[in-house]
Amino acid sequence: MTTDPTPAASTPDDAPRALVTGASTGIGRATVRRLVRAGYRVLASARREDRLAALAEETACDTFAADLTNDAQVAALADHARSLGPLKSLVHIAGGAIGADRVEDGRAEDWSRMYDINVLSTLRLTQALLGHLRADGGGDILVLTSTAAIAPYPGGAGYTAAKHAERMIPATLRLELVGEPIRVIEIRPGLVETEEFSLNRYRGDAEAAAEVYAGVAEPLTADDCAEVITFSLTLPDHVNLDEVVIRPRAQASNTVVHRER
């Protein structure tokens, strides 16, 4: 993919500002790159400071490390975002899957953690910055969920439960905020081959992680998702892409995937 950065130094002061979570890897990092190239000033957040520093070096984005499961760290991130000035787009990408167990074997602590990193983290940061979006004349709240938010698959119940729940945040906010100048966008990717998603899901088992994408001609890339995210945010303000499902051509549903092998 292209990583040609647009340094903040060449970005005008009145450029729109976006806060992107999950920016240390995968879809979040690709989104930071795309938004910077589209002329945004981006505040990139995740827990790993070294990853954020490398991205700042590459794109001249601002960074702030925060664990979104920690209320005090979310408050500090929101304070920092406010200190930078008006915010146009709040882009929730942080999240993830832990385990691929059948319901009968699922671990409650995994389900609980997935609820925290996918649902409550999105809730916390939305609550912390909604007032700032409003004060600055509106903007966008984008939530990256998943096709796991709209249909089950065997071994997926803990993750699909969390993503279904996360989906209720944009779905409900859109009803609650109608009439305000705030777009609420939900993007639902299917199979995306990223460095860490499946590795984390399978607790570091690289073979099991590779099997997820085995034989699939062209899984989506992080940059494919970033392109759709950037498109949705750069449409005219009155155009709201409510819900977007993106899948690779080789995937027809969560359970029907064409594999050549």
Ligand X SMILES: NC(=O)c1ccc[n+]([C@@H]2O[C@H](COP(=O)([O-])OP(=O)(O)OC[C@H]3O[C@@H](n4cnc5c(N)ncnc54)[C@H](OP(=O)(O)O)[C@@H]3O)[C@@H](O)[C@H]2O)c1
Examine the residue annotation and report whether 202 is marked as an active-site residue of this protein: no
| Residues in touch with ligand X (CB under 6 A) | 21-22, 24-28, 46-48, 51, 67-69, 93-96, 117, 144, 146, 189, 191-192, 194, 196-197, 200, 222
In angstroms, the CA 89 to CA 168 distance is 19
Q: How far is the CB of 28 from ligand X (least distance, A)?
A: 5
Cβ closest to ligand X, residue 133 vs residue 187:
187
Rounded to 5 degrees, what are φ and ψ at 39? 100, 10
Q: How far is the CB of 164 from ligand X (least distance, A)?
A: 12
In angstroms, the CA 23 to CA 219 distance is 21
Angle at 238 between CA 42 and CA 241, to 5 degrees: 70
Q: How far is the CB of 74 from ligand X (least distance, A)?
A: 9
Q: How far is the CB of 1 from ligand X (least distance, A)?
A: 13
Cβ closest to ligand X, residue 200 vs residue 240:
200
Cβ closest to ligand X, residue 70 vs residue 240:
70
Cβ closest to ligand X, residue 139 vs residue 219:
219
- For tokens 């976006």, the residue is 18
Cβ closest to ligand X, residue 94 vs residue 142:
94
Q: Which of 40, 159, 202, 213 is catalytic?
A: 159
Residue number of the CB closest to ligand X reads: 26
Q: How far is the CB of 236 from ligand X (least distance, A)?
A: 26
Helix (H) or strand (E) holding 62: strand 62-65
Q: Which long-range contacts (CB under 8 A, 24 or more apart) does 132-138 make?
A: 132/78, 132/81, 132/82, 132/87, 133/87, 133/90, 133/182, 134/180, 134/182, 136/86, 136/87, 136/88, 137/86, 137/181, 138/180, 138/181, 138/182, 138/237
Closest C-alpha to 63, from 83, 82, 77: 77
What's the token pair of residue 127? Answer: 């609550």
Residues classed as catalytic: 159
